[in-house]
Amino acid sequence: MIHLPKNDPETYEALADTVRGFADSEIRPIAEELDRTASFPRDLYSAMGELGLFGITVPDELGGSGMDVLAYSIVMEELARGYASVADQCGVIELIGTLLTQYGTPEQQSKYMADVLAARKIIAYCITEEEAGSDVAGLRTTASKTDDGWVLNGSKLWIHNAPVADVGFVLARTDPEACHRGMSIFIVDLHAEGVERGPKEHKLGQRASQIGALSFADVKLPEGALLGELNRGFYIMMSVLEKGRVGIASLATGIGQAGLEAALEYAQQRKQFGKALVDHQGLQWMLADIAKDVAASRALVRDAALRLDNGKPAGKACSIAKCFAGDMAVARSSDALQIFGGSGYIQGFEVERLYRDAKITQIYEGTNQIQRTIIGRELVKQGARD
């Protein structure tokens, strides 16, 4: 179980070494198979729960590792270097763990936290709908008050873990006239009567991170299903977005690092025109470009994480990190594939998977177009300096 001293520089190095070793021994050897079969690796997640890789920032007393956002960023990068789908699961659990920590009642924390952090119960964060993606104001799922609780109706799509999840954290309208001020979050048993699951979607990348649709038809919820304050669900959801963006930026950085390592190793081994690829200046420049952008991405991510840890305004920094890292992962995984030549286009080569896995980092947790809007808005408000 990971429990390291806080605010000690050696802590972060030890943490990175631990997670990197786990990724090399337990994740990377099965990544291609998981991608090919789009399997959900329950045994792997159980092992990660035992090691303490879920709930990095959840306090010790609630069963987490009690560390900070910088530590979470390091864990996400190292896991994604092994396989982005596995890091994605860590990210989902971190956000749900944060919600339970900050807004859950003692009863909700007791009922769910231990099972969530140990991956005994698989969770889903249920926000996106057909008319509510980047624009959450389009949300149509409703929760209507009854004498003894609530009745949930509506549907969600593209929900992580929907095909396999036991518990959903569902954003629904509780005041149809109040727009953002009329939404609430409910904890929903996804095995309950009235809950239906759509088929598992077939994705371009991160294929072992399963997504699908959920529908709710007169699903009865008890009073205790409400997470946090009534009609504050939108703001509760927004409160974890900055950490979520740091997580995805870290994941994208891990993809870039994996691409750099694979491309460098191949370029050292492969010979063309009588010498190794790495001895050709043009290939050296391509590797240099990948390396400098991975380093820049890591620096931006760590800056955003430290701002969150120190209680400083971090919205713009988180958007910059997420936007840059996502764009970097797509562009530089493409360069890594190019260094492999025709081999990189063949399934079974790591760089082919990395290229596919990278694309979603420009889309989820707020598209990179949304991030640019946030950055631009903050520049207008605050000026060019922090």
d(CA 284, CA 278): 6
d(CA 31, CA 121): 23
d(CA 70, CA 314): 13
Annotated active-site residue in 33, 201, 365, 378: 365
Query: What is the dihedral angle through the alpha carbons of 359, 363, 369, 375, rounded to the nearest 10 degrees?
Result: -100
d(CA 119, CA 184): 25
d(CA 134, CA 47): 34
Residue 365 annotated as catalytic: yes
Q: Six-digit token pair at 272?
A: 């063309």
Contact 205, 357 (CB under 8 A): yes
Q: Six-digit token pair at 363?
A: 């889309």
Quickly tell me which residue has 């698989």 as its tokens.
122
- What is the full DSSP assignment across 4-66? --TT-HHHHHHHHHHHHHHIIIIIHHHHHHHHHHT---HHHHHHHHHHT-S-TTS-GGGTS--
**Residue 39 vs residues 34, 161, 185, 199, 353: alpha-carbon distances, Å:** 5, 11, 29, 14, 15
- What is the full DSSP assignment across 55-75? -TTS-GGGTS----HHHHHHH
Active site residue ranges = 365
